[in-house]
Structure 1
């Protein structure tokens, strides 16, 4: 059984169950992402999570990385039916046929967005005007499951042919990849993510990144 990690620092309460959750919360969740391969990774993982717990997916993350070619959308887009059937025999992932087929389909759609916009990163960040949304929640109960931004992004992705990209799934992606800062205000990561978001050092589309 995973051991609980004592909350020596104030953290968002959702992450306190397991050490793996804490590590993910402390090091990744909410950090602004501007790498297309990372975006594709989270699209696969968040889609796989639908109807399941995030802890289930975190435990299988390495398995997904191996099975889905290090989350390379070019390689995944070329998976054929034979390859998919082999994947569905692998216990390292959630063996859901619809989700695996969706991942391959989404890889193709992902490449189409890259071709149209130059990068998936530019496309997805345009839904928040290329600046992270900084929320100020006092407790976990205030954090929404969806927003108007996730609704709009989900609707557009579905129109483009993506699967397993409902607004709840997409908002989870936005939270994970730093398009929105949903750390609770008392969480030690809230100010750190706020600072990282204000810098946007890796975002070539933010013309205000050098301003005071």
Structure 2
């Protein structure tokens, strides 16, 4: 289907979009174990040779999919994630002190991203209050006689998300479980780039199916499909 106009200037080439991802930037990526991660954008980031990244995502995926190859090649200096157990290379890099890892329980991680996207100052949690390792360096706030840790919000220089459909304004519809963390990641980027399977004319999306409003999306690129062969090379 032909795109009916690009009046908002959001539909761009993948090369133009990836130019926004630079050495040393904070990169937030949607997805869960590679599902819902933007394969074409991540391949372009990998091919560009970007390094010294601070990576914020649910996990470090597997070595050959999602954000895994960036970790595998030592391009990530710090990962803020819920776990790294599916990627043994990430575990080795962490143990050897070659990659810093900041762990957050999955629900807290997602809430921190949501807080960043909503412009909140953080979230209050009681998880980790009794554990020095978990609470180290985190402010303690008392509310109605109960003490909480302040978990700080998370934002990124660039957020990369994956969606099933977009219109030229950047309204996004997600496909089933690939929706996962993408809607909140889309809100938390100073620049948000959406890789989509299909771009449709304005007005064609069912408003009831739109999850991410276009106001959060800066650029849209057409996906080339899922092909992780490059990561094995």
**What TM-score does the superposition give when structure 1 sets the normalisation length?**
0.29
Higher relative contact order (CA 8 A, sep 6+): 1
Q: Which has the larger radius of gyration?
A: 2
Question: Which structure's residues are more often helix, by fraction?
Answer: 1
TM-score after normalising by structure 2 = 0.27
